[in-house]
Amino acid sequence: MLDCKNDKCRELFATPEIEAVINSEFICEDCVKHFSELQEYLKVLNIDYKINKRLVRGLDYYNRTVFEITSTNLGAQNAVCGGGRYDPLVEMLGGTPTPAVGWAFGMERVISLLPPVEEKPLDVFIVTNNTQKAFELAEKFRKQSISCDFDLANKKFQKQMEKASKTGANFAVILGEEEISSGTYTLKNLKTGNQQKQPSFEDVIKVVFNPD
């Protein structure tokens, strides 16, 4: 009943008799102490909260405190997260008594609240027809915190270079048969068009980090 969203329910809740029942303290002495301590912790942590005696959760194994986290940026459907304590649950499932608390949140709502992220251009696009080498090189770049990508479709080099440009990558690292056999790298600056052979991976890293 307390979870009813119908307008008639709201009218019923507004009557003095029902309002008086809702506002009554039908909780045990230990629960009063627990709830009082919880509020003190929230104050210490500067967490704004509002007591809502009509708040319920949809599962019957909750005990003591239940909660919802809401946002003013979501309109009418403003709940982001909801949960509470369910200390009896583990024992109900055959385990030893275990204090517990949990919650669930709406992924889409959390994502909608995230600040916009500035997209940075890709550092390196790997151009090669050797997929294994591409994976190996990509792993080495990522360990150096260099963002990279490559084409899994093994298209012709020209198509891969076109894709590299479309991604907005700063550099293309070209690994043809010659580079693979000699252990070298051809590095092309996709912004300036400058292309040079690099004798080692360390040299590639230096140029990527210091393009000027």
Tokens of 200: 């080692």
Q: How confident is the model at residue 113 (pLDDT cuts 50, 70, 90)?
A: confident
Kindly tell me if the per-residue pLDDT of 199 is higher than 90. Answer: yes
Confidence at residue 25, expressed as pLDDT on a 0 to 100 scale: 63
Strand ranges in the chain using DSSP code E only, listed in sequence order: 63-70, 79-85, 101-105, 124-128, 148-150, 171-175, 185-189, 195-198
Kindly tell me if the per-residue pLDDT of 53 is higher than 80. Answer: no
Confidence at residue 71, expressed as pLDDT on a 0 to 100 scale: 81
10-32 pLDDT tens trace: 666 666 655 655 555 666 788 88
Domain boundaries 124-209, corresponding CATH code: 3.40.50.800
Q: How confident is the model at residue 175 (pLDDT cuts 50, 70, 90)?
A: very high
Confidence at residue 110, expressed as pLDDT on a 0 to 100 scale: 84
The per-residue pLDDT of the chain, averaged, comes to: 84
Q: Which residue has the higher pLDDT, 129 or 59?
A: 129
How far apart CA 71 and CA 73 sit, in angstroms, is 5
Residues 169-185, mean pLDDT to the nearest whole number: 93
- CA–CA–CA angle 179, 181, 182 (5° rounding): 65
Confidence at residue 186, expressed as pLDDT on a 0 to 100 scale: 94
Kindly tell me if the per-residue pLDDT of 56 is higher than 90. Answer: no
How far apart CA 210 and CA 212 sit, in angstroms, is 6
Enumerate the domain spans of the chain: 27-113, 124-209
Rg (alpha carbons) of the chain, rounded to whole number: 30
Confidence at residue 153, expressed as pLDDT on a 0 to 100 scale: 85
Considering the entire predicted model, what is its pTM?
Answer: 0.52
Tokens of 102: 């949990």
Burial of 209 (0-12, 13-18, 19+ CB in 10 A): exposed
